[in-house]
A and B are shown apart, each in its own frame.
Chain A
């Protein structure tokens, strides 16, 4: 009981995960304070999705501890699932059902009081009202993504995972999604989002964590990360360094982590 209140949000310690001989996560430590937004940055194949799936109880870690909303993802997975919503990297919607039916289905599965009402409210909020009665198979990529995110918001679970939520969205939809994520956090939801877009992290995140070669190599606010920039660099650049520059400076190499076994030799193979 006290555990849940003290350690709510997300707490990860020493988490490792390999796919056969491919070591993807090599000891992840990460904290997300309740009600805050943390952006997880990492190159393709860094293991962002793998980490999110472990936190969402879809995968089991090889070792280490992960707690979500005070519950252990391995031993209390049912309680974890009751505490989270997951927006996966690829829109997970039912193509044969209509947009409204998709929302109503999730609302029923979440046992909300008025599934039809919830569906209508979200359809309006995500500008899907006109297409509500059409099968999702006829939706554009952006419409699917918005529906997907709307489905994840039903039931207001205290922790939300969003895996690259705005990939493939036009600027307007992206702004809508950003507003939604801010609203979520404003209402007290703990948000962990992964992104390839550094401006997205700059815009949304209270703290930024950079996942590189299986570890979180740095976490902090944008201001804290900015201070990590080599001073020589700052002398020559007049404007504030962008997060992209910080990211590339920290990650260092030109071909980051296509293979997490790459430069780091500790524990490879």
Chain B
């Protein structure tokens, strides 16, 4: 057990170095959501009736979701490179727990995405975002974002292990990035036509976004929190299982 932790720590240190040595991966992760935020607030914002007085506060949860959805594709990219370069095989042939190699990548993704989320939050604050939420609400927001990042990162592990090209390794994230657009992230779902509205109201991003929005507005969250957490944990569990199965199929 202690060697498991020591090995995972060594591997985590390695892949955090990768992130630190290519800070552009964090910048590019944060740039697109920030651009969306500027675009929606200063260009479309006047025409969108979100029913609130601060549109930045309204769309911030969706922007954070987009940040994470685009950030996890770097996990697929880094894992793909490890497999391709043979270093993955080297680790596989060494007396270390095989899952620690994957966990190191997943935890690296968590760190990198939280940094990107912090950058986006800072920009939101300079754009006028203020929140009456207390520490407990912020903690819950943090917990939801962490679970969401873990779930999406484990999904990213699958193309990372199986892709045959760099493009293939990161293409999976495009639908994830689009998901928030068909949700309550930017406009209230009531404005959408029937079938789209039905989809939007029942997909995970809506319940996650609504819960984060309520928490940041210091409003009661009710059962929404449970639904949001259930989505995150459910997707996380499925993704871990699917990634494990992919791993066993691909490597012995």
A residues with a Cβ closer than 8 A to B are: 56-60, 78, 81-82, 84-86, 88, 90-97, 101, 105-106, 108-111, 135, 151
Contacts and interface: CB of A to CB of B under 8 A. Distances in A.
A105 B14 contact: yes
Interface stretch (B52-60, B92-100, B180-188): B92-100
Interface string B78-106: 00000001110111111110000000000
Given A57-B252, A96-B17, A90 B86 contact: yes
Interface in B1-42: 3, 6-7, 10-11, 13-14, 17-18, 21-22
A88 B14 contact: no
B251 interface: yes
Given A96-B17, A96-B18, A81 B95 contact: yes
B70 to A, nearest CB: 21
A46 B189 CA distance: 62
B6 A101 contact: no
Nearest to A52: B93
Contact of A86 (B18, B21, B22, B90): B90
A58 B6 contact: no
Given A96-B21, A101-B14, 7 more contacts: A86-B93, A92-B87, A92-B89, A94-B87, A96-B17, A108-B6, A109-B94
Given A58-B252, A81-B94, A94 B89 contact: no
Contacts of A111: 3, 6
A108 B8 CA distance: 11
B252 A84 contact: no
Instruction: List the 6 shortest-distance A-B pairs measured between CB atoms, nearest first.
Output: A92-B86, A82-B95, A92-B90, A86-B93, A108-B10, A81-B95
Interface residues of B, number: 24
Given A90-B86, A91-B86, A78 B95 contact: yes
Contacts of B17: 96-97, 101
B251 A58 contact: yes
A85 B92 CA distance: 11
A106 B91 CA distance: 9
Contacts of B21: 96, 135
A92 B91 CA distance: 10
A97 B11 CA distance: 12
Contact of B96 (A91, A101, A109, A151): A109
Q: Among the interface residues A56, A86, A92, which one has the most CB atoms of the partner chain B within 10 A? A: A92
Given A91-B86, A92-B85, A96-B17, A84 B3 contact: no
Looking at B7, B18, B86, the one whose CB has the most chain A CB atoms below 10 A away is B86
Contacts of A135: 21
22 contacts: A57-B92, A58-B92, A58-B93, A60-B252, A81-B95, A88-B89, A92-B86, A92-B87, A92-B89, A93-B87, A94-B87, A96-B18, A101-B14, A105-B11, A105-B13, A106-B90, A109-B7, A109-B10, A109-B11, A109-B96, A110-B94, A110-B95
Contacts of A88: 86, 89-90
Of residues A58, A85, A94, A111, which shows the largest number of chain B Cβ atoms within 10 Å of its Cβ?
A: A94
A62 to B, nearest CB: 13
A109 B89 CA distance: 14
A60 B6 CA distance: 28
B10 A105 contact: yes
Contact of A59 (B3, B95, B252): B252
A86 B91 CA distance: 10
Contacts of A82: 95
A86 B92 CA distance: 10
